[in-house]
Structure 1
Amino acid sequence: MPPALVVLTLALLLGIQPVTTDLYLPALPALTTGFGAPVAHAQLTLTALLLAFGLSQLVLGPLSDRFGRRPVLLWGLAAYVLAAVGAASAPSMTLLIVWRTLQGAAMGAAVMAARAIVRDLYQPAEGARVMSRALTGLGVIACLCAPIGGFVSDLAGWRFAMLVPALFGAAALALIASRFDESLAQRNTNALQIDTLLRTWTTVLRHPTFLAFCALTTASYALLFTFLAASSFVFIQVLGLTKTQYGLVMLWSSLAYIAGTFVCRHWLARHGVRGSVARGAVLTLAGGAAMAGLAMAGIHSTLAIVGPLTLIMLGHGVHQPCGQSGAVGPFPQAAGAASALNGFVMMLAAFGVGGWLGTQLDGSVLPLAYGMGFWSFCVALVAWTLVQKHG
């Protein structure tokens, strides 16, 4: 496949995650009110999706090592489109959570396969650069999600906003069906045998390089998810922004993330993976400390969150490309399984964050600010210790 097609394919497969999680965020308060449900139930539409997303990868990763990336993608994307339509037409909060859970499980096929495809086609150092380009595309998609979600929700209601992911999934499915050539050179016929699977998982989980980069991606995603899960309530209900204004905040954060992926490629050429991760952690910790410090000082405003958030998203644009490619780098024959384990741990952390926020959101900015401050510290700690030693 031409390099441009590979990057486009990866961008669409990875971009399905912000389309699924970010696009409906502006409609989340209205959705909650419409069903007359508590905030904790609304959080489940996101956290249950992400838990299913993480768990499904444990099955889909070995399946893709056994049968190839293409069949797993075709079936997974078809199921995703069906679940997205079901979520948009759900008559109750309970059924909405069920459809979103199925949507998350199907989404696992796209994101897991994208990480594995990078390892199929590239060595780790080049893989980080290719992943950075693909995540730039993800950033562009994420830029559009919240503004489109806010606009569609205001114009036609939250159900239509939740229908947009079905259209995106159908477009990704059409591209895979028509243009994607199988990237796995040699299928592992033993990948689904229980003893082989347990041995593979044990090997991956014992590898210090995997543990270092998995810890980095997990802390980095927990940091991002703290913002995603709490931001619509904080900006709309606490700080009084409109859905459109909130969409612009999300647009700005995505632009900062895109800038971070460009910084990542520049630093990779000069400083390598370890040096890039260490420098990105400076941005992350500065942003997290500033956000928590301003909140502690009683400065509760949009600017007091968005300013530090800019630094955090710049750092996120460095850590995710390096972390995701680094976690699968040592396992060319088990890239699907390694990608699945990395994704599972990330989503397990996100599920925990969502559960915590569901009980802590108290009508102030403090849970958001303190949560992001904590995870920023964790990112920096991992980046300056484990990654430098084992990366």
Structure 2
Amino acid sequence: MGLQPATTDIYLPALPLLTQDLAAPMALAQLTMAALILAFGFGQLLWGPVADRFGRRPVLVGTLAAYALAALGSVLAGSIEQLVAWRALQGFTMAGAVVCSRAMVRDLYAPIEGAQVMALALSGLGIVALLGPALGGLVAATSGWRAALGVVAAYGAAAFALVAWRVPETLAQKNPRATAPGPMLANWVEVARHPGFRAWMLLVTCTYGGIFTYLAGSSFVFIDVLGLSPAQYGLAMASVSACYMAGTFACRPWIRRFGLGGSVVRAAGFTAVAGASIVLLAVAGVESVWALLVPQWIYCFGHGFHMPCGQAGTVAPFPHKAGAASALAGFVMALVAFGIGRWLGVALDGTVLPFAFGLGFWSATTCAVAWTLVRRHGG
């Protein structure tokens, strides 16, 4: 699961540098992230049913090997167009690893226990997200953007080696009809019609919308608008990841006490405070690192509750269709993230306002879903 923040976070401090080096317009620079996320979404639609049919291990091994090669291609890219293509292939292959990791939790654990395990797994993901930006900023500042992408390639190769050596098959009963067009469509329809799935899917999509706004836009805002160096920006990103990781630790006792839905309803209070504060400070004309960073700390602490509960909730009703459910939720998340990336490519205007309004919007929608749909159907 740490492959996803490694792919996105490590290269973020290098994004302004590669934009300058490859003489790329803002829209194409944003496309290096947006294309990765869109391919990641479509890849999940494929790899989810394939993993239900053939098992988790072969999909993991195959996609991780292809990911490592695509990451190496990104390092060697000679133009922004080539880099976009290689990043899209990274997203498509990364999808297999992520969708399998989520489905494996459902293979092995009942829903409530699975949410606690997911929180623990996302704490590990938080460590990658904590170290990634600081490492990427340091490497980019000292050795350039290609070296930062080289770190991503090395991470992918290490993940492939670990999985190939250590990870067993977890799917007890394979579904030989999972990839047949008729049954596959029927599975998606059944999943999408479930009110609990829709509630949790919308929750993870909205809370991830705020995170992706930060991922895709923060480097330009903090570096180009507020004047941080790539290394300083990496440290700022690391502090945000630390708050997210703290949220994943804090949510585990809440899950035991309040359940999935009760935890999310309460944690939405952090999200509301974050969204309101960043918008109010931006409208008041406060353009400082702290005016953006502190609300993001609060948002990511709440995200540490929403994401593990939401990801466990989306697959909980479907023990025999966990791959399909995980894939469908991931596809919707990626589609929304792609739209955010394209919007930021146009909206970023040299001020903090588009960034602040984006986070405020996703804070509001996350709270609305948590306090209505999840409260009603999240059990």
| TM-score category of the 2 structures, normalised to the smaller one | over 0.9
Deviation by residue 1:295-319 (Cα, 9 ceiling, x = unmatched) = 0011111010111111101000000
Deviation by residue 1:144-184 (Cα, 9 ceiling, x = unmatched) = 11111011111111001001111111111111111111000
Tell me the number of residue pairs that the alignment of Structure 1 and Structure 2 aligns.
378
Residue 201 of structure 2 is aligned to residue 206 of structure 1: no
Partner of 1:46: 33
Partner of 1:379: 366
**Residues 169-248 of structure 1 mapped to structure 2, 5 A cutoff:** 169-248=156-235
Tell me the secondary structure at the aligned position of residue 313 of structure 2. helix
Tell me the secondary structure at the aligned position of residue 59 of structure 1. helix
Partner of 2:3: 16
Partner Cα distance (2:307, 2:266) in 1: 13
Partner of 1:147: 134
Tell me which amino acid in the other structure corresponds to 2:153: A
Percent identity, aligned pairs only, is 56
Tell me which amino acid in the other structure corresponds to 1:198: L
Partner of 1:269: 256
Tell me which amino acid in the other structure corresponds to 1:160: A
Partner Cα distance (1:208, 1:20) in 2: 32
Partner Cα distance (1:385, 1:247) in 2: 36
Tell me the secondary structure at the aligned position of residue 284 of structure 1. helix
Partner Cα distance (1:307, 1:74) in 2: 39
Tell me which amino acid in the other structure corresponds to 1:20: T
Q: 1:362 aligns with which of 349, 354, 374?
A: 349
Q: C-alpha displacement at 1:371, in angstroms? A: 0.5
Structure 1 residue runs of 4+, over 2 Å off?
Answer: none
Residue 16 of structure 2 is aligned to residue 29 of structure 1: yes
Q: C-alpha displacement at 1:278, in angstroms? A: 0.7
Q: C-alpha displacement at 1:275, in angstroms? A: 1.2
Q: 1:132 aligns with which of 105, 110, 119?
A: 119
Deviation by residue 1:29-72 (Cα, 9 ceiling, x = unmatched) = 01000011111100000000000000011010000000000000
Residue 17 of structure 2 is aligned to residue 59 of structure 1: no
Partner of 2:376: 389
Tell me the secondary structure at the aligned position of residue 333 of structure 1. coil
Partner Cα distance (2:2, 2:275) in 1: 25
Q: C-alpha displacement at 1:234, in angstroms? A: 0.3
Partner of 2:149: 162
Partner Cα distance (2:253, 2:320) in 1: 30
**Residues 70-149 of structure 1 mapped to structure 2, 5 A cutoff:** 70-149=57-136
Task: List gaps (5 residues or longer) in structure 2.
Answer: none
Partner Cα distance (2:196, 2:370) in 1: 12
Partner Cα distance (1:76, 1:164) in 2: 18
Tell me the secondary structure at the aligned position of residue 2 of structure 2. helix
Q: C-alpha displacement at 1:89, in angstroms? A: 0.3
Partner Cα distance (1:193, 1:27) in 2: 42
Partner of 1:301: 288
TM-score (norm 2): 0.99
Tell me which amino acid in the other structure corresponds to 2:300: M
TM-score (norm 1): 0.96
Q: C-alpha displacement at 1:240, in angstroms? A: 0.5
Tell me the secondary structure at the aligned position of residue 385 of structure 1. helix
* CA RMSD, Structure 1 to Structure 2 (Å): 0.6
Task: List gaps (5 residues or longer) in structure 1.
Answer: 1-13
